[in-house]
Amino acid sequence: MLDRRMTQLAELLVRHSMRVQSGEKVLIEAFDIPSEMTVALIRAVAAAGGHPLVSTYHQAVLRALYQSATLEQMQTIGTVERARMEAVQCYVGMRGSHNTTEMSDVPRERMDLYEKHWWNHVHSAVRVPHTKWVVLRWPTPSMAQSAGMSTEAFEDFYFDVCTGVDYIAMQKAMEPLEALMRRTDRVHIKGPGTDLRFRIKGIGVVPCYGERNIPDGEIYTCPVIDSAEGYVTYNCESLYRGTVFSNVRFEFAQGKIIKADAGANTTKINEILDADAGARYLGEWSLGVNPFITNPMRDTLFDEKISGSFHLTPGQCYKEASNGNNSQIHWDLVSRQDPAVGGGEIWFDDVLIRKDGRFVIPELQGLNPEALKR
């Protein structure tokens, strides 16, 4: 018997996130998730009149595939996967992981082959700009452990943050912030270890209220490519390519990361930033507003939505908020600004709009946590 919460989540993904229409083809990619959840997705797509296509993956199998990666192999897989992605109108990717560091011993050059010829060739080039897509995690014991919670408590938390948010209210509350960001030229971020300025004038602004990520709750734009000046310190740990990075600090000059520190992983982070010419420039800046997410758990899809946070992303920009940066890297690094971590401020054109994680001007207060819970 299906857990009713699985059915509710599947309905949210199909009806709200992808808005599946009759006759549309929907690619479901399931990574280490229960078969019952995949079944729920298939049934929800079919009930909406769509045609489900399904692929199941296992992280341990993918690790072996990446470890043996060759140029010809990844190009072949990329060609096949791209053809399939081009044949569908909607995409849902749900990922579970029994070991969040499963890919930690895959050589960097092999991961580069995967990212360039499979991930970028299929997802960056086709899925993101040309399908109605949504991606999300599945609650596993390893995620519960990262969050410092029991498995049962984490499952309850997961379904609350995914389906307990009033996404319609969030959409309406984001409208004045979107308008303000479109009018804004200069951004100034202050906080412990952070004093960074950049410009966003002329760059698109994208509010996110459950259409692309679940859980959701962010509004993003992108710095003008040569405008970042100063330094930023991220106070949330980040799991990237199987490695946990802590206390990441970047210094910028003319938009470029000229110095990157990550403690014991400083060499590794600089290897990532040297992947290509665009990796040391920014491709996204976003404010997080999900009222149920207040603490980091080393999972980007959750951490980047933390209420009162921001994330600032080295690498590839999105088409909808483009500064022209191209890279095989897109790494969302998150910093909280609530009082528990020392607070912080966001200024738009010399006007304080958020302090210690809470919006302070009246038209934006609908994005504070108490306004967004069902």
From first to last of its 374 residues, the chain has per-residue pLDDT tens of 578 999 999 999 999 999 999 999 999 999 999 999 999 999 999 999 999 999 999 999 999 999 999 999 999 999 999 999 999 999 999 999 888 788 889 998 999 999 999 999 999 999 999 999 999 999 999 888 888 889 999 999 999 889 888 888 899 999 999 999 999 999 999 999 999 999 999 999 999 998 888 999 999 999 999 999 999 999 999 988 888 999 999 999 999 999 999 999 999 999 999 999 999 999 999 999 999 999 898 888 899 999 999 999 999 999 899 999 999 999 999 999 999 999 999 999 999 999 999 999 999 999 999 988 87
CA–centroid distance for 167 within its chain: 17
Domain identity same for 39 and 51: yes
Domain identity same for 58 and 206: no
Structural domain tally of the chain? 2
Helical axes 151-163 vs 4-11, angle rounded to 10°? 30
Q: Which range marks the domain in which residue 60 is found?
A: 4-163
Domain identity same for 91 and 235: no
pLDDT of residue 106: 92
Domain identity same for 192 and 70: no
pLDDT of residue 3: 86
Among residues 147, 163, 179, the one where a domain terminates is 163
Domain identity same for 92 and 107: yes
Domain identity same for 116 and 28: yes
Buried-state track 314-342, b at ≥16 Cβ within 10 A, e below 16: bbbbbeebebebbbbbbbbbbbbbbeebe
Domain identity same for 11 and 122: yes
Domain identity same for 203 and 147: no
Among residues 163, 188, 212, the one where a domain terminates is 163
How many percent of the chain have pLDDT more than 90?
84
Q: How far apart are CA 176 and CA 82, in angstroms?
A: 38
DSSP state of 263: G
Residue 116 maps to which CATH number? Answer: 3.40.1830.10
Query: What three-state secondary structure class fits 201?
Result: coil
pLDDT of residue 1: 59
Among residues 122, 139, 163, the one where a domain terminates is 163
Domain identity same for 59 and 174: no
CA–centroid distance for 33 within its chain: 19
Domain identity same for 40 and 144: yes
Helices (DSSP H) in the chain: which residue ranges? 4-11, 35-47, 59-67, 71-86, 108-114, 128-130, 141-146, 151-163, 167-183, 266-273, 300-303
DSSP state of 318: B
Domain identity same for 113 and 159: yes
Reported as a single tens digit per residue, the pLDDT across 174-193 is: 999 999 999 999 999 999 99
Domain identity same for 143 and 178: no
